[in-house]
Amino acid sequence: MRFILGLLAILLAASPVAAQQKLAYIDSEEILRLLPEYQTARDQVDRLANQWQAELDGMAEEIEALEREFEARELLYTPEDRERKQTEISTRRTEMGQFRRRHFGPDGELFRQEQQAMRPIQERVLDAVEVIAEEGDYDFIFDRTGDLIFLYAKDAHNVTDLVLDELDVDPARRAGI
Which tens digit of pLDDT belongs to each residue from 84-109?
Answer: 999 999 999 999 999 999 999 999 99
Q: What is the pLDDT of residue 5?
A: 44
Distance from C-alpha of 159 to C-alpha of 141, rounded to nearest angstrom: 8
Distance from C-alpha of 88 to C-alpha of 82, rounded to nearest angstrom: 10
Q: What is the pLDDT of residue 22?
A: 84
Across 4-29, b (16+ Cβ under 10 Å) vs e yields: eeeeebeeeeeeeeeeeeebbbbbbe
What's the average model confidence in pLDDT over 19-43?
Answer: 89
β-bridge mates for residue 141, sequence order: 24
Distance from C-alpha of 167 to C-alpha of 26, rounded to nearest angstrom: 13
Label residue 151 by pLDDT band (50, 70, 90).
Answer: very low
Considering only residues 10 and 99, tell me which one the structure prediction assigns the higher pLDDT. 99
pTM, 2 dp = 0.69
Q: Per residue in 47-76, pLDDT tens?
A: 999 999 999 999 999 999 999 999 999 999
The CATH number assigned to the domain with range 2-37+118-176 reads: 3.30.910
Q: What is the pLDDT of residue 123?
A: 92
Q: Is the pLDDT of residue 43 over 90?
A: yes
Q: Is the pLDDT of residue 35 over 80?
A: yes
Burial of 164 from C-beta contacts in 10 A (0-12 / 13-18 / 19+): buried
The residue ranges of DSSP E strands in 27-163, in sequence order, are: 140-143
Burial of 103 from C-beta contacts in 10 A (0-12 / 13-18 / 19+): buried
Distance from C-alpha of 48 to C-alpha of 64, rounded to nearest angstrom: 24
Q: What is the mean pLDDT of the chain?
A: 85
Run of H or E including 26: strand 23-26
Label residue 81 by pLDDT band (50, 70, 90).
Answer: very high
